[in-house]
Chains A and B, each alone.
Chain A
Amino acid sequence: GEDVEQSLFLSVREGDSSVINCTYTDSSSTYLYWYKQEPGAGLQLLTYIFSNMDMKQDQRLTVLLNKKDKHLSLRIADTQTGDSAIYFCAESTGGSYIPTFGRGTSLIVHP
């Protein structure tokens, strides 16, 4: 199976919260990342969490890590139409820190 798995699509109403989920297989993962990719653009690093943390909050973004279940989530509060994009989960292990990406979750925000 894939090293990093994400659901492919998520549709939410403007103003609601969005929760994008990710599972990974490597128990030695050191850093876990969330990237955003808008159409025709490169990737933007949104946030990352070190594996010894459970939660990280940054303005409207909340990252939760369940290391036992190898589950990572990204919550976007008060989702706006400008948040419509593809969100990639990625993990890296110590040493090289080269991230392995999931296939991305396409977030669609409708009015």
Chain B
Amino acid sequence: DAGVTQSPTHLIKTRGQHVTLRCSPISGHKSVSWYQQVLGQGPQFIFQYYEKEERGRGNFPDRFSARQFPNYSSELNVNALLLGDSALYLCASSLERTPREQFFGPGTRLTVL
């Protein structure tokens, strides 16, 4: 069975641009969460979506937004990119609304120049 997939693998953008990252959960999983992992740190929670509705939001500015589609895949959008947005963006899926067991994708490495 395919695990969580994310695209693209790597991305280079310049300050002020916007970016869209994509995630496909494990088949049958209805919950998708997004995390930001800055180099040398643990992942920080950005959003959780379950059944196409936002169920949780971390301490990130409004430049960050996300959505979940009817097939449970998800997009993370970041506007007006800053240098500090450079990070590994991880997507995780889980079967339940309460993500006790989450399965992570390989991540998208975003570099902002």
Contacts and interface: CB of A to CB of B under 8 A. Distances in A.
Interface of A: 4, 31, 35, 40-45, 48, 88, 90, 92, 95-104
Nearest to A90: B42
Given A88-B42, A98-B56, A42 B107 contact: yes
B90 A48 contact: no
B45 interface: yes
A99 B100 CA distance: 9
A110 to B, nearest CB: 22
B62 interface: no
Contacts of A90: 42
B106 A41 contact: yes
A95 B44 CA distance: 18
Given A45-B104, A103-B41, 12 more contacts: A35-B104, A41-B106, A42-B107, A45-B103, A88-B43, A90-B42, A97-B98, A98-B48, A98-B56, A98-B58, A101-B42, A102-B42
Contacts of A44: 104
